[in-house]
């Protein structure tokens, strides 16, 4: 696992955007796995800036989002369809037909999950999967104790995740308890997994992901088994790491072709 520590959340997002941009330039018809939430917002702003400056072309890019709430229509302000449209898609030139987000209002959720997996395979697989990490170690919406070989499916949100996201909904009754999410097994098939982690509230999960055992109690720890997983954390999120100086040493001594900036 590649661990990169930066001083601020801003630096984390900008570096993440550089990694995405480098792939888009090298492989214009790449497949991106995208994430939502507070952490990736600044990354999307940086990608939009690069596009507006004429430095990136997304016209051949295909995207698959990690997850969506069950029961929220695409126009709902807390749906991930709405999030992606307002925060990224409408600002760049990715063709709408090449953007894929799970349909939480599908009449047959189980069939839809299977079809989503098929669509990823038919696209040639995901080249780069963008990830955040929950304070309980979830990636996507794969909660603790779930299978580390799971596929896209209907997941039940934990009480911890519901509490963490409660402020996004007017009342507890309006907050969905179920989501469609790519599984850990699906995520691990991406060519490159890039995790962004910011804030002290993520520090325990970041430590468990990087330095703890591979365990379903911290789903993100499965990334230790991935051949190319990059974690970019700000100093607050990295505060509990025992070997932060080692990670900094490794980054300082990379060969030129291994560097992102």
Write out pLDDT tens, residues 89-131: 999 999 999 999 999 999 999 999 999 999 999 999 999 999 9
**What structural domains does the chain harbor?**
2-244 (3.40.50.1360)
Whether 165 is catalytic: no
Task: Choose the catalytic residue: 81, 136, 189, 234.
Answer: 136
Per-residue confidence band for 172, with pLDDT thresholds at 50, 70 and 90: confident
Angle between helices 9-26 and 41-52 (to 10 degrees): 50
- 232 by DSSP, 3-state: which? strand
What is the reported pTM?
0.96
Whether 136 sits among the annotated catalytic residues: the reply is yes
Q: Is 253 a catalytic residue?
A: no
Could you tell me where the DSSP H helices lie in 80-134?
A: 80-87, 109-122
* Known active-site residue 57: no
The predicted structure's pLDDT at residue 136? 96
For 10-34, give the DSSP string.
HHHHHHHHHHHHHHHHH-TT-EEEE
Q: Which of 143, 189, 192, 234 is catalytic?
A: 143
């Amino acid at each position: 696992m590649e661990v990169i520590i930066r001083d601020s959340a801003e630096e984390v997002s900008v570096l993440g955007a550089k990694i995405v941009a480098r792939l888009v330039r090298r492989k214009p018809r790449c497949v991106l796995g995208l994430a939502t939430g507070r952490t990736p917002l600044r990354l999307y702003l940086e990608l939009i800036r690069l596009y507006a400056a004429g430095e990136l072309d997304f016209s051949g890019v295909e995207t698959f989002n990690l997850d969506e709430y069950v029961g929220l229509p695409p126009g709902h302000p807390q749906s991930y369809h709405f999030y992606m449209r307002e925060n990224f898609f409408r600002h760049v030139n990715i063709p709408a037909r090449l953007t894929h987000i799970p349909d939480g209002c599908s009449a047959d959720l189980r069939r839809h999950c299977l079809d989503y997996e098929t669509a990823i395979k038919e696209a040639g697989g995901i080249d780069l999967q963008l990830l955040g990490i929950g304070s309980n170690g979830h990636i996507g919406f794969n909660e603790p104790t779930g299978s580390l070989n799971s596929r896209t499916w209907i997941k039940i949100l934990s009480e911890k995740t519901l509490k963490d996201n409660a402020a996004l909904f007017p009342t507890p009754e309006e907050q969905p308890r179920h989501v469609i999410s790519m599984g850990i097994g699906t995520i691990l098939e991406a060519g490159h997994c890039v995790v962004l982690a910011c804030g002290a509230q993520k520090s325990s999960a970041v430590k468990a992901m990087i330095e703890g055992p591979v365990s379903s109690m911290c789903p993100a720890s499965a990334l230790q088994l991935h051949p190319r997983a990059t974690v970019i954390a700000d100093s607050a999120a990295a505060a509990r790491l025992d070997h932060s100086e080692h990670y900094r040493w490794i980054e300082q001594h990379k060969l030129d072709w291994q560097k992102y900036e």
